[in-house]
Structure 1
């Protein structure tokens, strides 16, 4: 069921002409790796007991994480639809006054569609390479979320595209984008987008405590 949902999601994103090749290749490579490990003979342990590790467990764990993030993205999209014409109290509080003054164009809360357009723009601007090595993601969503929050402690706000300026691996860009979605879903950050621009400001939300 979860695998079927993932394939359906890939097809839906392709119909929207959005960049999802990195996610697809990563998942496909994981499936091939698991299949190869299952076909290889396993050495007998010294104690005589068979190795009970099932490589499919890793796939299940990653698919469950994907399902959780997909549900979060769906919630974010619905929130954008419901509140795209609203300006909640405090939405500008985290921005420096001079930054707000420079925003002479109308600004809105971005929907998931805006976020995906910005993500696609980042992917399109990546240096094109002939070959791509397949390996496990070198970073996690939690690590990238912590990195984003650290940057927001150093600066009042950062632009979405600036989060990806030093990134060169497609899978790291994917994980960083998922971290942005996760922080939005958990109300850790606020986002404001200029009308007609595939970029937006990210600022840390004030704690409700």
Structure 2
């Protein structure tokens, strides 16, 4: 772009930029309040933060703080904040009193003979400053870590979880009562004909499994026919117990005192 173009001339003489456009003249009716341009360049999180800033800015040894110099700089900052009519918390004023007290104790004359070495008045302040610096450094490291909502967002993938309902377990008393009902019904089918009948538990187990594979489930009472004699009923019941023991079938009940159901497992 040529240097004598209108845009470059306006940019060179501009006193301000408004929405990306140079402004060359200040409006005659523009009123700027006296305190409108007061800006606090450095904000501190507390009196320890301010002290640590003053020490590190001047490369001072935190273990040997020049209390006169630091106290004067700290009080100057407090006075400047007061002149700008900014609210100071009680912590800043309390720290100012502590600095003045330490400064006064250091200026007091020492006795000529010291039997025991007295504690340094700055020791507690140094300990608090070092502890605060460690916490501040750790907080800065934590702030650099990726944070959800600031550096990345969570990806939500809705998944439909199909939960297979587990039927309630059958109590022993319910199974016993159902078995007694089957026995009572079988007693009415007794007769006086005597003949030899070959009964096998394995055969009954196979028949029960074949039936359940077709029907998937049936009632406990349906596995016993009304015409079955007592011996067949007993063998059939033993076959059911063996299948349950092997884990081939499952005995369940929808609600208490309801009919017992046999299912393929």
| TM-score for the superposition, normalised by structure 2 | 0.34
Higher RCO, 1 or 2 (CA under 8 Å, sep at least 6)? 1
Question: Where is the helix percentage greater, Structure 1 or Structure 2?
Answer: 1
| TM-score for the superposition, normalised by structure 1 | 0.43
